[in-house]
Amino acid sequence: MLKGIIIAADGAEDTELVAMRDIFLRTKEIEIDLVTLGDKKEFVTSRGLRIGSDKTIDEVKEEDYDFICLPGGKVGVDNMKASNKLKDLVMEFANNDKYVGAICAAPSFLGELGLLKGKRYICFPGFETEGGIRMEAGVVDDGKIVTGRSMYYTIPFAEMMVKCMLGEKAVAAVFPGTRGV
């Protein structure tokens, strides 16, 4: 059983956060913790939904998890960029060769950490980063970094994360009768 984190920053894009969590759980091979950046186990999405989280960032240790995902939403990503604890945590995942996923505006956060240097990636227009190789695609995987363009690509993004970590069979189990990514 894999275990992952989705960062639940105030202002995170609703669909990206909720849909990727749903897809990961549907595999029945992935456990997910929603993790807030503050000291409360509640956050407010970009569209005003109040959602409870499983843990705060202070309760998380990288060694307990296999991957981390960062949803977009400009305000959510700005909140992520303001968190030194999150910067350290994401770097621990990357340095330990674990999967790091980011969608929409969130790849810009990875870019600021230097994780996209020389890597192929995609992001929401206007959130490009120097050093990376921006592709024209909905979803891009380059090694242990998976990026998605926008909310519209949330399902293919989560599908790609599942495919990278668990293989085609797991994708087929979640999306029976579809072509997959």
Using a 10 angstrom Cβ sphere, with 0-12 exposed, 13-18 middle and 19 or more buried, the burial of residue 14 is: middle
Distance CA 25, CA 19 (A): 10
* Residue 135, domain extent: 2-174
Per-residue pLDDT band for 180 (boundaries 50, 70, 90) equals: low
Per-residue pLDDT band for 21 (boundaries 50, 70, 90) equals: very high
- Provide the Cα torsion 86, 91, 112, 118; round to 10°: -150
Predicted confidence at residue 48, as pLDDT, reads: 93
Predicted confidence at residue 146, as pLDDT, reads: 98
Predicted confidence at residue 179, as pLDDT, reads: 59
Q: How many domains does the chain contain in total? A: 1
- pLDDT above 80: residue 15: yes
- Asked if the structure places residue 53 within a domain, the reply is yes
Computed from CA positions of residues 134, 108, 77, 38, in that sequence, does the dihedral angle turn out positive or negative? positive
List pLDDT tens digits, range 121-173: 999 999 999 899 999 999 999 999 999 999 999 999 999 999 999 999 999 98
**Please, which residues bridge with residue 133 across strands?**
120
The pLDDT > 70 percentage for the chain reads 98
- Asked if the structure places residue 51 within a domain, the reply is yes
Both tokens assigned to 92: 């621990």
- Asked if the structure places residue 180 within a domain, the reply is no
Computed from CA positions of residues 129, 131, 133, 138, in that sequence, does the dihedral angle turn out positive or negative? negative
Using a 10 angstrom Cβ sphere, with 0-12 exposed, 13-18 middle and 19 or more buried, the burial of residue 41 is: middle
- Asked if the structure places residue 179 within a domain, the reply is no
Q: Minimal CA–CA distance to 72: which of 16, 135, 156, 2?
A: 16
pTM of the model as a whole:
0.95
| CATH classification of the domain holding 26 | 3.40.50.880
- Asked if the structure places residue 181 within a domain, the reply is no
Answer for the pair 132, 112: CB distance below 8 angstroms, yes or no: no
- For range 10-38, the mean pLDDT: 97
- Asked if the structure places residue 44 within a domain, the reply is yes
List pLDDT tens digits, range 52-97: 999 999 999 999 999 999 999 999 999 999 999 999 999 999 999 9
